[in-house]
Amino acid sequence: MRMSPRTPRRALAVLALAAIVGLPCVAARLLRAADEADTLRITIQQEPDSLHPLLMDMAAATEISGDNSRPGPLQATLCLRGDDWVLRPYIAAELPSLANGQWKILEEGGRMQTTWHLRPEAKWSDGTPITADDFIFAYQVIMDNRVVGVVTRDQERRIETMTAEGADRKTLVITWKEPFAYADTGHACLPRHIEEPVYSKDPASYHKTDIADRLVGCGPYVLKKWNRSESIVLERNPNYWGEMAKIQRIIYSFTSDTNTIVANILSGTLDAVSPTGMTFEAGLALKADPPPGFTTYFTPGLVWEHIDFNLENPWLADKRVRQALTYGIDREKMVKVFFEGQQPVADGWLPPKHYAHHPNLKKYAYDPAKANALLDEAGWKKGADGWRVNAAGERFKLIIRTTAQNSVREQIEQYIQSNWKKLGVELAIENQEAKVFFGETVKKRKFEHLAMFAWLFGPQADGETNWTMKNIPTEANGWTGQNYGGFKNAEIDRIDNQVPKTLAEAERVKLLHQEQELWLEELPAIPLYFRCDVSAAREGLKEWRPTGTDTGVTWNCQRWSLMR
């Protein structure tokens, strides 16, 4: 075939046309790629309810914004606990302590005072300095009965006065009515110069104003846009007073379906999956078949899965029965089978990473012989049909309840059912929809025998709300408190009430060790396992350090960097 003289000209024309059309596309793509390198795309299973530290109620809000004591992209806090759970100053220059004189006992066993010196460089995203007045204003809002949406005032109700000192008003002095061990864990702060006019106008509608969109914060990022139900875009805060954020933009998108999250990872539209709401099964699936360039993180956490006994039931009031039932579950095998060993057996109620965890606790290792002996001793004898009965001829049949459609819990129930069958104990599974289970059955202590659920503890958990008698929910106390099993033990009650008033950490550790030993002997609940926080991120994402606590993975977001 001969090429005509006009062919090269035609070819050149086609090439020129392709260049005209194609170059801008290539340029745009290159620019986009450059832009994306400075953008981090995270998906999270929940959408926050609010970005305002006092009004938010969801873990997703804490992660995307930050709140009174847990920092995030929009909110710095007086102090913070990172992934090592150690308390460090953040807005504060240092933590108050008895040693540095910023924590003073005014009356032995009574009033005390803490002093916080705020960093001189700390400022809001609009450039206004953060002062003690911002903390005093937040305290005033929290304590105002007209303000709607503030749930708990556990810390604030212990405060007598809060004052600002110094010419720059950078010193915050707090006088406490009573000893409080956690007085060094921080206080809420709000931009007074922005929010006070809104609040003063009508405190009752303060929660309805657009302050909830949190346009002025003090963290490393500012809110750029919130597309409700879809995404939140955060931009680097140019006025941030600490280490400047490395990534220009963080985009949070909301995806509730786990399969869709995986599809997003595989199609390359994501850089990280938040631990908030990510299921353990999804984590195992990602680990088993990892998307190229992604790492799955299993971070040991503070979520304690357990079974509460109804201790008002005469069968379960006998601690030999409770011990026998615990000896009768092979929990080591359980965590291997269901969690590939990623979630450890809980020996007690405090996780190994907690500052007061007792390392040498009595272990309830699987021991069916001991379980059978204890049940025999408690008067539950095996009948001819293999099931146990008591002297009154009642068959030992227990009812367990948990949240329906939670496949992990349902499988664990069946596993326990088969374990206990070998002991001659029948277990009937009667699960309920989460709203009914938590709203009625557990909270109002309506479960017959057993309730399986989890507690998310904080790093300073001390058991006061879980195991003291004053925290048994009743109609008279408005169903407050979390001692759902109705546990009553005078010594544990004394210790757990004493811990929050004991200022020295070493003393608290001693008390809590004593408490854990007693608790394991009494066994008001069956400790099952500690859950992990599961997240996933591109291998090039540096400093992605989930905490395993209620502090969001964003606690150090200014240090994140992404290499694609």
Partner 1 sequence: MRSFILRRLLQTIVVLFVLSLALRAIMDAMPGNLVEMMITSRPGVKPEDVSRLRKQYGLDDSFPVAYAKWVRMIVVDRDLGYSMYYKQPVSQVLGPRLAASVKLMGISFLVSLAIAIPLGIYVALRQYSIADYLTNAFAFAGISIPSFWLGLMMMYLFSVRLHWLPPDKMHTPGDESLGDLLQHLILPSLVLCVQEIATWVRYMRASMLEVIQEDYVRTARAKGVSPGRVVWKHALRNALIPIITLVALSIPGVLSGAIITESIFSWPGMGQLLYKSVVNSDTPVAMISFLLIAVVTLLSNLLADVLYAVADPRIRLT
Give the binding site for partner 1 (CB under 8 A): 41, 49-50, 52, 55-57, 145, 148-149, 151-155, 157, 207-208, 212, 225, 227-231, 233, 251, 253-257, 259-260, 263-264, 266-269, 434-436, 438-440, 442-443, 456, 458, 464-466, 476-480, 482
Q: Between residues 393 and 478, which has the closer beta carbon with respect to partner 1?
A: 478
Cβ count near 519 (within 10 Å): 26
Contact between residue 175 and residue 161 where contact means Cβ atoms under 8 Å apart: yes
Q: Between residues 330 and 496, which has the closer beta carbon with respect to partner 1?
A: 496
What does the DSSP 8-state code read for residue 53? Answer: T
453 Rama sector, left if φ>0, alpha if ψ -120 to 50, beta otherwise: beta
| Residue 498 parent element (H or E) | helix 490-498
Q: Between residues 156 and 318, which has the closer beta carbon with respect to partner 1?
A: 156
Q: Between residues 77 and 466, which has the closer beta carbon with respect to partner 1?
A: 466
Q: Between residues 247 and 324, which has the closer beta carbon with respect to partner 1?
A: 247
Phi, psi of 525, deg, nearest 5:
-150, 160
Smallest distance from the beta carbon of 189 to partner 1, in angstroms? 20
Smallest distance from the beta carbon of 479 to partner 1, in angstroms? 7
Q: Which residue type, as a one-letter code, is found at position 237?
A: N
What does the DSSP 8-state code read for residue 505? Answer: H
Torsion of CA 147, 151, 155, 160, to 10 degrees: 30
Q: Between residues 121 and 433, which has the closer beta carbon with respect to partner 1?
A: 433
C-alpha closest to that of 467 among 422, 504, 414, 514: 514
Q: Between residues 201 and 336, which has the closer beta carbon with respect to partner 1?
A: 201
Between the two ends of the chain, the Cα-to-Cα distance in Å is 48
Q: Which residue type, as a one-letter code, is found at position 334?
A: M
Smallest distance from the beta carbon of 444 to partner 1, in angstroms? 9
Q: How far apart are CA 347 and CA 291, in angstroms?
A: 35
Smallest distance from the beta carbon of 471 to partner 1, in angstroms? 9
Q: Between residues 41 and 117, which has the closer beta carbon with respect to partner 1?
A: 41
Contact between residue 533 and residue 548 where contact means Cβ atoms under 8 Å apart: yes
332 Cβ contact list (under 8 Å, min separation 6) = 345, 365, 366
Q: Between residues 267 and 360, which has the closer beta carbon with respect to partner 1?
A: 267
Smallest distance from the beta carbon of 223 to partner 1, in angstroms? 13
Q: Between residues 123 and 236, which has the closer beta carbon with respect to partner 1?
A: 236
Smallest distance from the beta carbon of 229 to partner 1, in angstroms? 3
Q: Between residues 106 and 148, which has the closer beta carbon with respect to partner 1?
A: 148
Smallest distance from the beta carbon of 449 to partner 1, in angstroms? 20
CA–CA distance from 392 to each of 365, 388, 426 (Å)? 31, 12, 17
Q: Residue 164: beta bridge partners?
A: 172
Phi, psi of 526, deg, nearest 5:
-95, 115
C-alpha closest to that of 137 among 179, 228, 198, 48: 198
At 528 the three-state DSSP class reads: strand
Smallest distance from the beta carbon of 478 to partner 1, in angstroms? 4
Q: Which residue type, as a one-letter code, is found at position 7?
A: T
Q: How far apart are CA 157 and CA 56, in angstroms?
A: 20
Smallest distance from the beta carbon of 401 to partner 1, in angstroms? 13
Smallest distance from the beta carbon of 457 to partner 1, in angstroms? 9
Smallest distance from the beta carbon of 344 to partner 1, in angstroms? 23
Q: Between residues 253 and 299, which has the closer beta carbon with respect to partner 1?
A: 253
The residue count for the chain: 564
DSSP string, 371-412: HHHHHHHTT-EE-TTS-EE-TT--B-EEEEE-BTT-HHHHHH
Q: Between residues 117 and 236, which has the closer beta carbon with respect to partner 1?
A: 236
Q: How far apart are CA 12 and CA 1, in angstroms?
A: 20
521 Cβ contact list (under 8 Å, min separation 6) = 319, 362
CA geometry: angle at 73 spanning 70 and 78, to 5°? 40
Smallest distance from the beta carbon of 441 to partner 1, in angstroms? 8
Q: How far apart are CA 512 and CA 483, in angstroms?
A: 17
Smallest distance from the beta carbon of 216 to partner 1, in angstroms? 18
Contact between residue 162 and residue 156 where contact means Cβ atoms under 8 Å apart: no
